[in-house]
Homo-oligomer: A and B are copies of this chain.
Amino acid sequence: MGTTGQLAAVPEPKYWHLRTVLLRAIDTEFSTGQVLPNERELSARFGVARATLRQALDQLELEGRLVRRRGIGTLIAAPRVGVPVNRHEEGWPGTARSQAWRTVDCTTAPATARLAKALGIAEGATVHTVRRVRLVQGQNMATESLHVPAAALPHLPGFRAESDRARSVLRQLERLEVDGESRAVELGVAEAEEAALLERPPGSPVLVMTTQYAAAGRLVALAVSTYRADTCKLTFGEAGVVEVTPVGAPVGAATGAAAEVRTAS
């Protein structure tokens, strides 16, 4: 970024060209955690309006390359964290490192039309909903709403305090023999409470993962998880693949490198 940033007259928009220039600078002249010059200076240096510069920064932030902090500055982001979303590794309550999840609250209420349809139950049927937050490296990385029809948990003890009920629901769920899950992943934005739980402003991009858990041919749970898209990379592992040794290196070792192939090559 030593140049004064000449922006030749090109057919592509200025902000896109700017993004490219900045991206190269990030890759070659900066490292994680460093702060970029402030927006007013950058826009002056490149001879564009601040709004145009910000459009370029918006792109780079969406790509997870920058983090902007009000009052602080614009920093180079750390590479995205690979977050395993396999039930047997992380997702299912109580399994192994389940400390990663922190229960926020738990409600028991009749299903709305929407929820009933998604769970394949009658509208108004009782459903337990556990909201949780997933912590990765001490950071809130995801929120989840876990919906479980009361009918799927026949042995649930009677009324309890909210935190106890949440525990009970999760424990009962563990005992079911879940024999399959089907998932969907799409792009979304964090709204009010969700955004607050993720410690991000409303409108922040998230990866929305919808998981249906089946046991004995029945749909026993529906989880809707929202992962911070800026810092997360969802990884779907298969037990069969991990730990084998390919031509040169273990498959696991290549996992990190694989995601970087797309850029520049």
Contacts and interface: CB of A to CB of B under 8 A. Distances in A.
A154 B161 CA distance: 64
Interface in A243-265: 244-251, 253-255, 257-265
Given A210-B261, A258-B222, A185 B182 contact: no
B187 A214 contact: no
Given A205-B62, A261-B224, A254 B184 contact: no
Contact of A62 (B149, B187, B257, B262): B187
A182 B238 contact: yes
B59 A115 contact: no
A151 interface: yes
* Interface of A: prevailing SS: mixed
B203 A151 contact: no
A62 B207 CA distance: 12
B120 A248 contact: yes
A178 B157 CA distance: 46
Contact of A121 (B182, B242, B247): B247
B202 A251 contact: no
Interface in A123-149: 145, 147, 149
Contact of A258 (B212, B230, B246): B212
B182 A250 contact: no
A189 B263 CA distance: 11
Contacts of A219: 246-247, 251, 254
Interface in A155-210: 179-189, 202-203, 205, 207-208, 210
A188 to B, nearest CB: 6
A21 to B, nearest CB: 14
Contact of A118 (B179, B217, B260): B260
A249 B214 contact: no
Nearest to A220: B246
A91 interface: no
A119 interface: yes
Please provide the 10 A-B residue pairs with the shortest distance between their CB atoms, ordered closest to farther.
Answer: A180-B241, A120-B249, A180-B240, A219-B246, A217-B244, A186-B233, A118-B257, A120-B248, A218-B246, A187-B229
Given A64-B186, A182-B237, A214-B246, 6 more contacts: A118-B260, A119-B247, A120-B248, A180-B241, A182-B242, A212-B251
